[in-house]
Amino acid sequence: MKSRCFTKFCGITTIKDAKNAELAGCDAIGFVFVRKSKRYVSIRNCQNIIDSLAPTTLTVALFSNNTKDEIQQVLNTCRIHVLQFHGNESADFCSYWNKPYWKAIPMADNIDPLEYASHYADAQGYLIDNFGIEKSGGSGSNFDWDKIPSQIDDKWILAGGLNPKNVLKARKKTKINNFDVSSGIEISPGKKSIKLMKKFIRKLND
């Protein structure tokens, strides 16, 4: 019997999209706190969205080389369950907040994913993505899935260019059961499509 996949919809910017994401059946919702991102969300807006969510929906805050003050301001106001780091943050910095965290691993020719991950041994998850935000994810384009090591476990999360048309192929090719999608379920940057969200989940779990 096929196990159900874990799915995170990232770059949520409105209550409507958040509610539709829950309706579609995602497990986690991501909020981007990188100001140059087209999907940047303010602290106040983020908490308003979170207030509309079911308590069981996992909330994830995405940062990329943010300062400690910036991260603390988010945590002072927003009910965040997991921190997701896409920059050059050290393991000590990532674990400083005493919250579960995921570390993005940029899939580049000069990077060994397993060696990179070994520097973040206490991470709850490793998100493998193409170059994008600060050259460490958020590009919206996929990479050569053959470069993913065969030794990975359930802590690994696949991102980068996923959409309803290719996600089932991605699952079969990589054997990964955790997925993070943003642009592949959008009408335009920061505006999600309920139709695409539902189709993404259905393709994975039907």
Residue 29: strand pairing partners: 9, 59
Give the length of the chain: 206
Residue 138: CB atoms within 10 A of its CB come to: 26
What is the Cα gyration radius of the chain?
A: 16
User: Are the CB atoms for 84 and 102 separated by under 8 Å?
Assistant: yes
Three-state SS at 98 = coil
Match 């695409």 to its residue by tokens. Answer: 196
d(CA 84, CA 103): 6
Just list the catalytic residues.
10, 129
